[in-house]
Amino acid sequence: MVCPKVDRLGRDEKRSDPAASARKRLAGGAVALLAASLALGISAPARADVWTLSGVTFDDGAAAGGGLATNVYGYLESFDVTTSAGGPFTGFTYSSGSGDSGSLTPPFGTVLDFDRPGYNGFLHLVLQNGLSGAGPATIVVAGDVSYECNTYSCAAGGYDPNARAIAGGALVNGLGVPEPATITLLGIGMMALRLARRRRAV
């Protein structure tokens, strides 16, 4: 009686294929890393918001442009805002990259301030609905509560030669910018899916 020949060598070679073993280990490691990232809360909020000044004008005919970014927690992260000349004002540039200061209170809030060193230029914006949604965030102009000063000390809501009131405009929300943690998670997930497909194909 002749026993059927079993291709043991072929099965052994398949089991010992180093490329297949490496792919399996990588797939398992990627899935484990994804699970650990989720457990550690790396998948926190997905984006920061970029806001652009739109149609912002002053009562002297000047205008303001530029924009700012808020992080996922609602705090001001960066800004670059420029106002044009008008009347006694020469116009100012407020930039976080130049050491100017800015604040948004409360987080996702309705009061936005920019000021330059040495009290040389101060921009105060009151927003109707805050920087908390898709926008736009309309600038409140009643009572001259939104204004710019050419010194730090000036009066809102009335005539002051050192102040000019904002006549209209809004901040418009652009596309959200992915946070680094979200980008990391996306990359890990895509790698895990790709390796899992290769593992099934082996």
Q: What are the extents of the domains in the chain?
A: 11-43+179-201, 47-177
Which amino acid, 175? L
Mean pLDDT of the chain: 78
Q: Give the span between the Cα atoms of 9 and 2, in whole angstroms.
A: 19
Q: How confident is the model at residue 174 (pLDDT cuts 50, 70, 90)?
A: confident
Q: What is the pLDDT averaged over residues 14-20? A: 57
Q: What is the pLDDT averaged over residues 138-157? A: 85
Q: How confident is the model at residue 38 (pLDDT cuts 50, 70, 90)?
A: very low
Residue 47: pLDDT above 70?
no
Buried/exposed 104-116: b ≥16 CB within 10 Å, e otherwise = beeeebbebbbbb
> Higher confidence at residue 67 or residue 7?
67
CA-closest candidate to residue 156, choices 18, 60, 164: 164
Residue 41: pLDDT above 60?
no
State both tokens at 86. 């008008």
Q: What is the reported pLDDT for 153? A: 72
CATH topology of domain 47-177: Lipocalin (2.40.128)
Q: What is the reported pLDDT for 14? A: 47
Q: Give the span between the Cα atoms of 18 and 109, in whole angstroms.
A: 57
CA-closest candidate to residue 115, choices 147, 158, 161: 147
Q: How confident is the model at residue 109 (pLDDT cuts 50, 70, 90)?
A: very high
Q: What is the reported pLDDT for 43? A: 44
Q: How confident is the model at residue 22 (pLDDT cuts 50, 70, 90)?
A: low
